[in-house]
Structure 1
Amino acid sequence: MALSTTDIAETSPEPQGEGRAPLHVAIIMDGNGRWATQRGWPRLAGHRKGAEQIKKIVQAAPGLGIRYMTIYAFSTENWKRSTQEVLGLMKMFRLMIKREAAELSRQGVELRFIGDRTRLDPLLRETMDSIEARTRGNTKLTLAVAINYGGRDELRRAALELARDLAEGRITEDEVDEAAISARLDTRCMPDPDLVIRSSGETRTSNFLPWQAAYSEYEFTPTLWPDFTPGELAEILARFKGRERRFGGVAS
């Protein structure tokens, strides 16, 4: 049944005035391959440089008022890339996670992974599970890494879970609302992103958090991800603070 005007008013977020820092920032880290190609280097060299930038951004995030961050590391469509690049990325993910586990925990970062893990290598899945357990309960920053993630696939998986719960009587049709869907998404323990940033000059959302980002603000920067700095992030956040978010309402 379609929502009435009253329903929409009751379920939409409250308007927010200027000056508020984003609680949750999501980033589409694009441009690693191009950065390397421009220098005559293998694409994986760009991904390694991009990984170094992630560390800098994560370290800077709490000081900029960010409490949650989600980064798009590998999409469900990225399997179409060359076997060499895919295998190289998977190996890099596993080694980086193992290498950075202690430092992330020391910094108070809770690490989570979103996406469909069933296609990932068992060693990578084991490493992901281990660092999630190790950093659980850290409160300075929650960092969600999207690996084998696609927004449509996430919604498909949520719909299947909801259908099973309906069939087995754990939920009734009257209880199927936006909250019921959100509770079955990979990001169910996080607030929706206030701001989505995409690097490299591309202006598409690439199947990233389509449900969660329905009312997010967007920033598209021409900077390739390996050149993206905490300083540029701070500039983007300053622009965000100047926006009035109405969520379908009217200006106050």
Structure 2
Amino acid sequence: MKWHIGIGAIVFATLLVVSQVTPHDTTQETILMPLLQQLDDIHKDINKSITQMQTLKSSQESLNQIILQQQKEIQSLHAQLHKFNQTLRELEHVINTTAQRTEFKLMELEQIIEHTNENTNLVLRKISNNKNQTLPIEEKDIYKNGTAFTNLDIKEKLKEIFPKAKIITSDIVYITPPIENIDKLEIFINWTKIPELEYKAELNDCDDFAWRLYSESKTHYSLLALGVAYSKNHVFNIIIFKINSTNQLSVYIIEPQTGSIFPFNETLPEYYREIEYVFL
């Protein structure tokens, strides 16, 4: 712009000189006319250059806006890429965790299958052996001098002793043998060889022992009031005996892992007293 001002000053000075030339001074007019023409051309060139500069400036501003927009888009892409990488890492962690859990579950399943196969073979061997063995106590002898009670009577008695428990009974008439028959029950339990089984945590533990004895009792003495009891930390068997001629009923605990039988009372450990479920 400084050079433009300078040219303008020259033009102004030239015009001032021309204005002082008299109309009759043709020599000076002849000299100045080409000069004025040149100055006019220069002025036009200057205006043209200014227009070009303005156009260039406008183009530069547009280019700057485009560059700024592209920079914003690049920043957005960077943010999306960062989020994608983070999601990918989280997904990888989930996949690894799931794979580990699946591996553990498969190992547990393999152990369960192995344990089931062992139990199946044991049962098959036992069935095979029992074909040649006589039941140690006949059904009529285990019920001898017993008294019949409906499932409602049995449930009411169990509710008195285990008020917080959910009692599940079969729709049958149960036989409660006299307490004098307890030795016959002990003989039967030992005959099943259940107390001789090996204890394995999570594979052959308290609930497995209890349900095996329950199954054996229902197979041979289906009316016996013998069931499975669940507390918070333990599973075992119970049986109801008739105490005297007045038909007073009493609940006894059966520990199938040892074959021991003992009466229920409030001095027993909590896992024998705080019963949650009874299946009879």
TM-score normalised according to structure 2 size: 0.21
User: 1 or 2, which has the higher helix percentage?
Assistant: 2
**TM-score, normalization: structure 1?**
0.23
